[in-house]
Amino acid sequence: MSLKRDESGRLHIETPLMAESLMDKTLLRGTETETVFRPLPDLNVVKLGGQSIIDRGRSVVLPLLDEIVAARAEHPLLVMTGGGTRSRHAYAIALDLGMPTGVLAKLGASISEQNALMISLLLAPHGGVKIGHDDVVKLPAYLALGAIPVMHAMPPYSLWEEPAAQGRIPPHRTDTGAFLTAEVVGARRCILVKDERGLFTADPKKDPAADFIPEIEVNELLAVDLEDLAVERAMLHALAHARSVREVLLVNGRVPGNLTRALAGENPGTRIYRNA
């Protein structure tokens, strides 16, 4: 880029985007790239489900935190937290009062942040520290100090959440927030810790005959359009267009060692990937 003086004598930064419409399709195609800079390519983003993990209390949470502490020496980690049952209670009240989607998104974020506070305090003896969304740029410093940063996973759309295609539940919730965080820092892997083995062709709690899906390409999964999913559809759409993170792993956090195996590069659950 260089400076260019116009006929009036004013200086401008000469770029391909200068005086162009950012809605022009040809211009947008010209910004495509196969790779982008990845600030933290060794980072593992681990999201602990709210209802599936944190709401189950000490018997489920504490063993998982032990795995996180043990893995921290070899695997840089960012722990993120879901909202869970309390988010659903807040959503139910807000829906009954006729609140718009953006208000529900803000309520969900507050519950997710409460869980981040509790998890960071439980990890405090081992360097756990609660961070906010604006602190993502400080992650390298926290990791260099040996800390275990914990952040709530609800993306900061807040009142500006996109209206849902159906109903009023915010489409971008904590699965999406964890993935988008992994994408922007160029993380090695995004791991969603839940209470099921992974994806099935139907809800295994309702249909015992449902088949397990060990791995599937994200566009194929979207095309199948399952009636119910253990992950947010908005997260799948984000993965389909991602530049850095090429896979998301779902693991059952109630099985000892599953998270450790996932951090080591194994697939103890369902791997959702994007073809290059």
Tens of pLDDT, residues 121-131: 999 999 999 99
Is pTM, for the whole model, over 0.85? yes
Whether 51 shows a pLDDT value over 90: the answer reads yes
Ranges of beta strands (E only) in the chain are: 2-5, 11-14, 44-48, 77-81, 128-130, 148-152, 189-194, 199-200, 212-213, 215-217, 247-252, 270-273
Helix (H, G, I), strand (E, B) or coil at 212: strand
The Cβ-side half-sphere exposure at 262, using a 13 Å CA radius, reads: 33
Whether 30 shows a pLDDT value over 80: the answer reads no
Tell me: the pLDDT tens digits for 159-188? 999 999 999 999 999 999 999 999 999 999
The Cβ-side half-sphere exposure at 10, using a 13 Å CA radius, reads: 3
Which pLDDT score, from 0 to 100, does residue 123 have?
Answer: 98
Which pLDDT score, from 0 to 100, does residue 18 have?
Answer: 64
Q: Calculate mean pLDDT across residues 255-261.
A: 97
DSSP character at residue 74: T
Query: Given pLDDT bands bounded at 50, 70 and 90, which one contains residue 135?
Result: very high
- Do 38 and 188 touch, CB atoms closer than 8 A? no
Helix axes 174-185, 101-122, angle to 10 degrees: 70
Higher pLDDT, 70 or 27: 70
